[in-house]
């Protein structure tokens, strides 16, 4: 099943030679592949610096400075680029491309985070064997140190799961190889290798940490499964959450965590990881900081808000909801001065391809198709863009990934809204940590933009 899927996918992928040439990894290990792909990138950066260091790529307007740096092209981020119309591309591959070519779990169909991680790190599509080997390594390294278990177990149940996750990740830096090597004294050219080891170790441990938080907060006193060496990352995560028996939910989590893994560098969590990492803080501290950015309501919490809003709509409108009812409910939300959660985006100007991919997942499963909450998400999608256009404020009247992501979890009984951002946090580690490895491999400097006071800005304007 898997090999025929992979071979079909490869044929389709190879049609576009310019995009996919040299896409497929050989039989090399992840570390060997990294050693191979880094020098040409270092050369590329050197050339850019020497030949085009003074080329102007855009203007800085006052609006950029006071408007949260929206649209300002000011960061180097290797693994993905977000196009306002097409959506995210990972090393040039769109989400449908990735769904065609990235290997699935042995018994599954959806691309898995391991294959996405390999693509993000190397720019190459791994084979099924390489993906399996990465799964094996992650499972091997997946257990938490005892003191981190004790630390997490000591948190009050009322402490927000995201606070717990950030603190747990920061504590894991006790074992940072980068920090230990730096203290001993290493060459700059070796920074990336230790950063990679820390990143792999952190990604490996995230499921056990995140599942322990879930158990402690929502199912205290129940037994927590251990990391199984023969399961993939999400197979283990789902199992430790208590959903290992639910293959559809596990597959959904695989897809969700893979396609949510990176969304270029300017979003708050990615940018935070990059900024903190640029001080040579180790990957644990850098990603812990990113998680606290993700915990903000304008960033990672939107999926829980969508669910709250759709359930309130369902409660108010009853079982048989017409398009007119939804339209009226949307206007009620907007007229009360609230945003429609799950709609709009800082960069995107089309329906989010991540939303489309998750919708397709639901469409292909009969139980999800008949789920009232998912049906309501679909019906809302049919009405909301026109209402938002008529409302006339948002630059993007279309759904983002969060319009649907929490509803599938809810359908299968994972109903604890506050936990949803933790799953996002497990996912976003893939992109943030990849960037830290590349930042060290490329020798990117300490980030230090220039700030201005309003008086200083006014002085420049007068000049
Ligand atoms: C994602 C989001 C924060 C992007 O913000 P942004 O880049 O400032 O978006 P825009 O430039 O389109 O905003 C312009 C105006 O439209 C409004 N707007 C944007 N999205 C809206 C929505 N879904 N519903 C109603 N109004 C919206 C903004 O609040 C802003 O109003 P203002 O001029 O009164 O301040 C915003 O679209 C939003 O709040 N969406 C709902 C929450 C959500 O789904 N977040 C998840 C993002 S992945």
DSSP H helices, 279-391, are 283-294, 302-317, 323-335, 353-363, 366-369, 372-391
- Give the CATH number of the domain where residue 217 resides: 1.10.580.10
State which H helix or E strand residue 146 sits in. helix 146-154
Quick check: is 245 catalytic? no
Helix (H, G, I), strand (E, B) or coil at 127: coil
Same structural domain, 327 and 437: no
Distance CA 200, CA 137 (A): 9
Give residue 18's pLDDT: 38
User: How confident is the model at residue 4, as a pLDDT?
Assistant: 37
Residue 94 lies in a domain: no
Torsion sign over Cα 276, 278, 279, 284: positive
- Residue 346 alpha carbon, nearest atom of ligand 1: 7
* φ, ψ (nearest 5 deg) of residue 350: -150, 170
Contact 117, 208 (CB under 8 A): no
> Buried b vs exposed e over 357-380: b needs ≥16 C-beta within 10 Å?
bbbebbeebeebeebebbbbbebb
Residue keyed to tokens 């769109």: 94
Which residues, including other chains, have CB under 8 Å from residue 234's CB and lie 6 or more apart? 105, 112, 113, 207, 250, 253, 254, 257
- Could you tell me if 396 and 354 lie in one domain? yes
Active site residue 299: yes
- Alpha-carbon dihedral sign for residues 312, 318, 323, 324: negative
pTM of the full structure: 0.93
What is the 104 CA–ligand 1 centroid distance (Å)? 35
Nearest CA to ligand 1 atom 26: 339
Number of compact structural domains in the chain: 2
Q: Answer yes or no: is the C-beta of 396 below 6 A from any ligand 1 atom.
A: yes
CATH of the domain at 361: 1.10.230.10
Instruction: Give yes or no: residues 372 and 311 share one domain.
Output: yes
Catalytic residue among 160, 299, 325, 375: 299
Q: Indicate which residue of 271, 352, 402, 411 is catalytic.
A: 402
Residue in 444, 430, 428, 431 with CA at minimum distance from that of residue 191: 444
Domain membership flag for residue 73: no
* Ligand 1 contact via 68 beta carbon (within 6 Å): no
In a domain, 462, yes or no: no
202 with 155, same domain: the answer is: yes
Instruction: Say which residue the tokens 């042995």 belong to.
Output: 106
Residues 268 and 190 in one domain: yes
Rounded-to-integer distance, Cα 110 and Cα 97, Å: 12
Residues forming beta bridges with residue 343, ordered by sequence position: 399
Retrieve residue 40's tokens: 């040409």
Place of tokens 């398009």: 323
Cβ distance 342 to 439 under 8 Å? no
CA distance 347 to 270: 15
Cβ count within 10 A of residue 308 = 13
* Residue 72 falls inside a structural domain: no
pLDDT of residue 409: 94
Other CB atoms closer than 10 Å to residue 176's CB: what's the count?
22
Q: DSSP code of 204?
A: H
Q: Is residue 378 part of a domain?
A: yes
Q: Which residue in 92, 26, 102 sits closest to 357, CA to CA?
A: 102
| Residue 108 beta carbon below 6 angstroms from any ligand 1 atom | no
Range of the domain at 396: 302-412
* Residues 256, 163 share a domain: yes
Query: What's the burial of 461, exposed, middle or buried (CB within 10 Å: 0-12/13-18/19+)?
Result: exposed
- Check whether residue 209 and residue 350 sit in a common domain: no
Residues 330 and 208 in one domain: no
> Quick check: CB of 400 below 6 Å from ligand 1?
yes
- Tens place of pLDDT per residue across the chain (463 aa): 333 333 333 443 433 333 444 566 578 999 999 999 999 999 999 999 999 999 999 999 999 999 999 989 999 999 999 999 999 999 999 999 999 999 999 989 999 999 999 999 999 999 999 999 999 999 999 999 999 999 999 999 999 999 999 999 999 999 999 999 999 999 999 999 999 999 999 999 999 999 999 999 999 999 999 999 999 999 999 999 999 999 999 999 999 999 999 999 999 999 999 999 999 999 999 999 999 999 998 888 888 889 999 999 999 998 889 999 999 999 999 999 999 999 999 899 999 999 999 999 999 998 898 899 999 999 999 999 999 999 999 999 999 999 999 999 999 999 998 999 999 999 999 999 999 999 999 999 999 999 999 999 999 999 8
Residue 399: CB within 6 Å of ligand 1? Answer: no
Considering the domain boundaries, does residue 232 fall inside one? Answer: yes
Q: Is 402 a catalytic residue?
A: yes
Beta bridge partners, 104, equal 111
Whether 428 is covered by a domain: the verdict is yes
In this structure, the answer to whether residues 311 and 394 fall within a common structural domain is yes
E strands, 9-146, are 80-83, 87-90, 93-94
What is the per-residue pLDDT for 299? 87
Is residue 372 in some structural domain? yes
* Angstrom distance (rounded) from CA 242 to CA 219: 10
Q: Are residues 310 and 181 in the same domain?
A: no
Within 189-246, where are the H helices?
191-218, 233-241
Residue closest by Cα to atom 41 of ligand 1: 341
């Amino acid at each position: 099943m898997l090999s025929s899927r992979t071979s079909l996918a490869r044929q389709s992928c190879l049609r576009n030679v310019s995009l996919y040439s040299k896409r497929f990894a050989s039989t090399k290990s992840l570390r060997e592949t990294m050693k191979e792909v880094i020098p040409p990138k270092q050369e590329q950066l050197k050339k850019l610096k020497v030949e085009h260091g003074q080329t102007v790529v855009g203007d800085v307007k006052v609006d950029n400075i006071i408007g949260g740096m929206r649209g300002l092209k000011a960061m180097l981020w290797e693994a993905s680029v977000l196009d306002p119309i097409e959506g995210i591309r990972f090393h040039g591959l769109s989400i449908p491309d990735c769904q065609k070519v990235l290997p699935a779990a042995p018994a599954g169909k959806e691309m898995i985070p391991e294959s996405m991680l390999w693509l993000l790190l190397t720019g190459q599509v791994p084979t099924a064997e390489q993906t399996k080997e990465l799964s094996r390594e992650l499972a091997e390294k997946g257990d938490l140190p005892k003191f981190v278990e004790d630390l997490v177990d000591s948190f009050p149940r009322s402490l927000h799961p995201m606070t717990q996750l950030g603190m747990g990740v920061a504590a894991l830096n006790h074992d940072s190889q980068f920090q230990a090597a730096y203290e001993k004294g290493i060459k700059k050219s070796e920074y990336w290798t230790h950063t990679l080891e820390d990143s792999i170790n952190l990604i490996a441990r995230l499921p056990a940490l995140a599942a322990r938080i879930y158990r402690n907060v929502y199912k205290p006193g129940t037994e927590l499964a251990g990391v199984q060496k023969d399961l993939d990352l999400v197979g283990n995560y789902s199992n430790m959450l208590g959903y290992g028996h639910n293959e559809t939910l596990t597959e959904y989590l695989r897809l969700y965590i893979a396609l949510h893994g990176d969304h270029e560098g300017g979003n708050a969590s990615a940018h935070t990881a990059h900024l903190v990492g640029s001080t040579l803080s180790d990957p644990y501290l850098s990603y812990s900081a990113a998680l606290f950015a993700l915990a903000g309501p304008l960033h990672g919490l939107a999926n829980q808000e969508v669910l709250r809003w759709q359930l309130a709509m369902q409660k108010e409108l009853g079982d048989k909801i017409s398009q007119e009812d939804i339209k009226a409910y949307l206007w009620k939300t907007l007229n009360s001065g609230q945003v429609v959660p799950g709609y709009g985006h800082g960069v995107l100007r089309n329906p989010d391809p991540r939303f489309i991919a998750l919708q397709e997942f639901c469409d292909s499963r009969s139980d999800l198709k008949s789920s009232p909450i998912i049906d309501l998400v679909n019906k809302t999608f049919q009405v909301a863009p026109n209402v938002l256009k008529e409302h006339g404020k948002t630059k993007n009247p279309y759904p983002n990934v969060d319009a649907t992501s929490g509803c599938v979890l809810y359908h299968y009984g994972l109903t604890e809204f506050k936990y949803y951002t933790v799953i996002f946090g497990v996912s976003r580690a893939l992109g943030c940590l990849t960037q830290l490895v590349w930042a060290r491999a490329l020798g990117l400097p300490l980030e230090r933009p220039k700030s201005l006071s309003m008086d200083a800005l006014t002085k420049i304007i007068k000049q």
